[in-house]
Amino acid sequence: MSDYADDPGPRDACGVFGVWAPDEDVAKLTYYGLYALQHRGQEAAGIAVADGRTVLVFKELGLVAQVFDEVTLASLSGHAAVGHTRYSTTGSSTWENAQPSYRSSRGGNAIALGHNGNLTNTVKLAADLVDTGEGRIRATTDSDLITAMLAAHPGPTLEDAAMAVLPQLAGAFSLVFCDTSTLYAARDTHGVHPLVLGRLGGNGPDSGWVVASETAALDIVGAGFVREVEPGELIVIDAGGPRSRRYAPATPHGCLFEYVYLARPDTTIAGRSVHATRVEVGRTLAREAPADADLVIGVPQSGVPAAVGFAEASRIPYGEGLVKNSYVGRTFIQPSQTIRQRGIRLKLNPLRDVIDGRRLVVVDDSIVRGNTQRALVRMLREAGAVEVHVRISSPPVRWPCFYGIDFATRAELIASSASIEEIRESLGADSLAYVSLDGLVAASRQPAETLCRACFDGVYPVPLPHTDHLGKYLLEDVVDEITVGMNGADPSPDVDSVVRPR
């Protein structure tokens, strides 16, 4: 589903990237890794670099290319780095909440952390921190809370702290973090969101190591895929290479929506190509919900592979009926009301000579509120479409996500209260159909019991707290100042270690 001013689509929490490579320019590698993960977060970007003595963090609101330039990257020198692109699912979109987050530990070591996901026991963790001593934490994110817990732990090493802190965290987290010497990666026991390990420079003793949210980021920086970080696993990377620690048993529930929308098509998750999954979903849609039409078109980008599969299975020709403006991304300039009313054209415009006089099957990845599809159907009819049959390559999204996707609230999800026929009528389409949940699961080629499908069926694999303890701004509402014992030290970021552009 495309992201427009009046109907933001589902947004993933973040993308994380880390590299340990003493013989490489780790800042530039991280920059390109974040570029590959830009789709996972477009509110802020940041890089932390460790050089054996210090950790320096540079972060700012905006896209990766807006935040970093050659001069900035040249100033970030070291042997290890952590990078992050952010969509906010806990805490406002502010500079303070941008990542990597930074803390000084009790022993005086520096810690920088990037987090993809969302914790479900944030309020309890925050209350526990309040009871531990003195100090202040001013950022209002679950990610900063994790960093503070690691920094507050009395263990002699960050590895000891991680082994104690990680079992306390509930919800979804794919973490990449570092101290002055060592890179770490960890994944929640359910493995909700992906995290992979790659190798730079072959199998020699000078190999570097990369961890990233998606395999596509490994490809971009020239790293070979080694394996996924396992659910419930902590990986420690230093001069001896990676070491694995198991902090809790695995109970896999990977996010099914990663295959639908979140991940890049050139990524592989649990051994299954995202692109191949989307094409197969399109074939399934054609079998489950055929249409009598002249042309199949996809809504760029994530609707296109499913449209190709639908055309293949239905033997209806596939065509490019919508042109996407690739240069329209996140903008800080709000459109006028006139443009907002026709905001879909900021990113998509119809090819009239392709559409005029045709009966269309239009394949999109999901419907959240329905505003985007409503505008799309109207636009296609204005371009001359005789019929518009909408096909959706995911089941109806009826439940919000609490594990790191910034969906609308349940009241705002059109499928939570309206029937398919009512939604069709609201969109103005001639027909509407969604792929079945069984069909989507089959296309992913993952066992159903190892997938999180909560946004489709309301079954949440990680227990949820009371609704008062859920929500994007809960830390801002509940915790004004969180205090943490640091042997008298103030754990707020050192201005010499966290740089804000001027």
Contacts of 445 (CB under 8 A, 6+ apart): 272, 277
* Rounded Cα distance, 361 and 431, in Å: 9
pLDDT given for residue 497 in this prediction:
67
Domains and their CATH numbers in the chain: 15-253 (3.60.20.10), 274-325+338-445 (3.40.50.2020)
Tell me the one-letter amino acid at 381: R
pLDDT given for residue 124 in this prediction:
85
476 close to 278: Cβ distance less than 8 angstroms: no
For the chain of 502 residues, list the mean pLDDT of each consecutive stretch of 10.
48 83 96 95 94 96 93 96 80 76 90 94 82 52 91 92 97 97 98 97 80 98 97 97 97 96 95 98 98 97 95 97 76 55 75 96 94 93 97 96 81 93 97 98 97 95 69 47 40 53 48
pLDDT given for residue 500 in this prediction:
55
Q: Is-cis flag, bond preceding 301, omega within 30?
A: yes
83 close to 16: Cβ distance less than 8 angstroms: yes
* Rounded Cα distance, 394 and 288, in Å: 12
Task: Report which DSSP code applies to 266.
Answer: T
pTM for this entry: 0.89
* Annotated binding residue 452: yes
Catalytic residue numbers, as ranges: 14
Using only C-alpha atoms, what is the Rg of the chain? 23
pLDDT given for residue 2 in this prediction:
43
H or E stretch at 197: strand 196-200
* Rounded Cα distance, 351 and 162, in Å: 54
Which long-range contacts does 71-76 make (Cβ < 8 Å, 24+ apart)? 72/501, 73/25, 73/27, 73/28, 73/31, 73/47, 74/27, 76/26, 76/27, 76/47, 76/49
* Rounded Cα distance, 315 and 291, in Å: 11
* Annotated binding residue 302: yes
pLDDT given for residue 103 in this prediction:
93
* Annotated binding residue 178: no
Angle at alpha carbon of residue 233, lines to 442 and 110, rounded to 5°: 130
* Annotated binding residue 365: yes
- Cα separations in angstroms, 117 against 45, 87, 90, 121, 401: 16, 10, 9, 13, 10
* Annotated binding residue 401: yes
